[in-house]
Amino acid sequence: MILDLDTLLRRGQAPARFHLERLDWPGESIDPSINIVKTVVEGTVSADGSLLTVQGLLRFDYETQCARCLTQVSSHQEAEFAEEFARSESEDAPDRYLYVGHTLDLTQMVEDCIALNMPLRTLCSETCKGLCPVCGADRNIVSCGCSADEGPMKNPFAALAAKLREENEEV
């Protein structure tokens, strides 16, 4: 996710347009249970002296597990962004990113933007029924007939699964 400023600004358009794409995103700030399949960033760079403003639209496709039934889900998000890049740090503007020389590296900015716009949970469907807390069956597929207040847990992991799911629901 690197732009060459010489090439970009030499074209003489103001602001200068760019389009970047990347497959996979092994970013450290992104939840490892989420697989970022494809990221597309397009926008413009405008310069005010050495201060650059980068703005545009971020789109990304990702795969993760449904927070209720744990099946694999493919989903998509998009978000607008507008960030400033400076040559040196400034106490007045701690949110600015930095750039060096003639290249503008958008990697950290894009990764931050992905992390910020990732939903706290993704569902396979808004009406997903989730797993049965008693027997662990996927209630979208089978009707297991358990009642919620049925005696001791038949599946030793069902209690844990139900608890984890409750925590997810509370987020």
Site for Zn ion, rule CB under 5 A? 66, 68-69, 124, 128, 132, 134-135, 137, 144, 146
- To Zn ion, the closest distance from the beta carbon of 78 in angstroms equals 23
Tokens 């009406």 belong to: 127
Q: How far is the CB of 144 from Zn ion (least distance, A)?
A: 3
User: Toward Zn ion, which CB reaches closer, 22 or 165?
Assistant: 165
Least distance CB 166 / Zn ion (angstroms): 15
Burial (CB < 10 A; 0-12, 13-18, 19+), residue 152, is exposed
Q: What is the DSSP code string of 110-161?
A: HHHHHHHHS-S---S-TT---B-TTT--BTTT------TT-SS-SSTTHHHH
State which residue, 93 or 144, has the beta carbon closest to Zn ion: 144
Least separation in angstroms between residue 146's CB and Zn ion is 3
Nearer to Zn ion, 12 or 152 (CB): 152
Output 91 or 126, the one with its CB closest to Zn ion: 126
Is the separation of the CB atoms in 25 and 34 below 8 Å?
no
Residue 47 belongs to what H/E stretch?
Answer: strand 35-48
If one counts every other C-beta atom within 10 angstroms of the C-beta of residue 121, the result is 13
Between 104 and 134, whose beta carbon lies closer to Zn ion? 134
Nearest of 163, 49, 54, 52 to residue 113 by alpha carbon: 54
